[in-house]
């Protein structure tokens, strides 16, 4: 499995899925600036995938 780390389309979709704190929204819009931001983005991406699966199941 290969990951395209430049693909940020999930971040915009995740912003629209639920409300976020201003700092999280800024991170999602601007991307990471260091190790801590990258770690947090990874955690946010996992939450996005969980919400996406739940959303896809509810539409079936």
Question: pTM, whole model, 2 decimals?
Answer: 0.82
**pLDDT given for residue 6 in this prediction:** 61
**DSSP of 41-58:** HHHHHHHHHHHHHHHHHH
**pLDDT given for residue 58 in this prediction:** 81
CA dihedral 25, 31, 33, 35 (to 10 degrees): 90
**pLDDT given for residue 1 in this prediction:** 44
Residues 6+ apart with CB under 8 A from 20: 28
**pLDDT given for residue 7 in this prediction:** 74
Q: Tokens at residue 48, please?
A: 């996005």
Q: Tokens at residue 40, please?
A: 């947090």
Q: Flag whether pLDDT at 3 surpasses 60.
A: no
**18-59: per-residue pLDDT in tens?**
999 999 999 999 999 999 999 999 999 999 999 999 988 887
């Amino acid at each position: 499995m290969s990951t395209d780390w430049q693909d940020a389309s999930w971040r915009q979709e995740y912003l629209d899925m639920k409300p976020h704190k201003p700092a999280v929204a800024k991170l999602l819009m601007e991307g990471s600036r260091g190790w801590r931001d990258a770690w947090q983005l990874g955690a946010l991406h996992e939450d996005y995938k969980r919400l996406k699966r739940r959303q896809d199941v509810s539409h079936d």
